[in-house]
Amino acid sequence: MSTFASAVASVTDPYERQARLWPALLALLPVFVTVGSIYGPRLSALANAATLAVACGGLYLLAQMSRDRGKALEKSLFDEWGGTPTTQLLRHRDAGIEAATKSRYHAFLSRKIAQPFPDAKQEADDPKAADDCYKSGVRWLLNQTTDHDRFPLLFKENISYGFRRNGLGLRPAAVLVAIACAVFILVNYGALAMAGWSNTALLKLPDEAWLSLVASLIAVATWTAFFTKPTVKTAAFTYGETLLRACDVLE
């Protein structure tokens, strides 16, 4: 485990580690608990295999799988919400940001991309053209805010959004993994069999089996209660508003 922990710590990029790798490792946590509690004394071969997997890019693969699941989900979320958070916040018809502040952002971004932003009537007449203009301004803003030292809060909010988005993308697989671990414990100790359920065997489960079972149940509850569309939306709009606040800093 110390070797594995050291490997995780070696992923020094905060976004890569926290927003991509951590959701993937959380999805596998029930497996780690089950294997560690049941087969702890005989883990030398498995530990060697895990070390080899890490050395061959296993952690990077997990992070990329997490990212891909999150990105695959992102477009459908934006479509469901009515557009990207920054685009929505820049619309005249959206009340997420007060009008005076929004007008200041429009004026600033309009100068930077050398294109006038639409007024409320123009936005209503051609919503797509208005959104394209807002997206262009946001693209410019993103390119100016890549300095994490200058925009530390923005970076933290981006990590928070990425963590929740990727976690939601992994949720089906994570819940399946947790349920599979719980079923394995019940079958392995005779509490669940083809003949049916055995309360007697359940009551006789050893402490290490209960540890794994409880960890799996907590994992299912966490993935279903925390990694949800509303929690992702909250993080997404918080990040979007924080990004737009950079207009005042750059001004």
pLDDT by residue (tens digit) across 37-81?
877 766 665 565 666 566 556 788 889 999 999 999 999 999 999
Please check whether residue 70 is in contact with residue 166, taking contact to mean a CB–CB distance below 8 angstroms: yes
The Cα 224–Cα 174 span in angstroms is 10
Which portions of the chain are predicted below pLDDT 50? none
Residues 6+ apart with CB under 8 A from 14: 155, 159
171 in a structural domain: yes
Residue 47 located in a structural domain = no
Is residue 150 assigned to a domain? yes
Residue 64 lies in a domain: no
Percent of the chain with pLDDT over 70: 88
- 3 state DSSP class of 132: helix
Q: Which two tokens stand for residue 106?
A: 């429009």
Residue 12 domain-assigned?
A: no
What's the pLDDT at 50? 62
The pLDDT value recorded for residue 1 is 52
Confidence at residue 8, expressed as pLDDT on a 0 to 100 scale: 65
Q: Whole-angstrom Cα distance, residue 208 to residue 214?
A: 10
* Buried/exposed 3-16: b ≥16 CB within 10 Å, e otherwise: ebeebeeebeeebb
Which residue range(s) make up the domain with 128?
Answer: 70-251
User: Is residue 155 included in any domain, yes or no?
Assistant: yes
Number of domains observed in the structure of the chain:
1
Residue 175 lies in a domain: yes
110 assigned to some structural domain? yes
The owner of tokens 């005042």 is 248
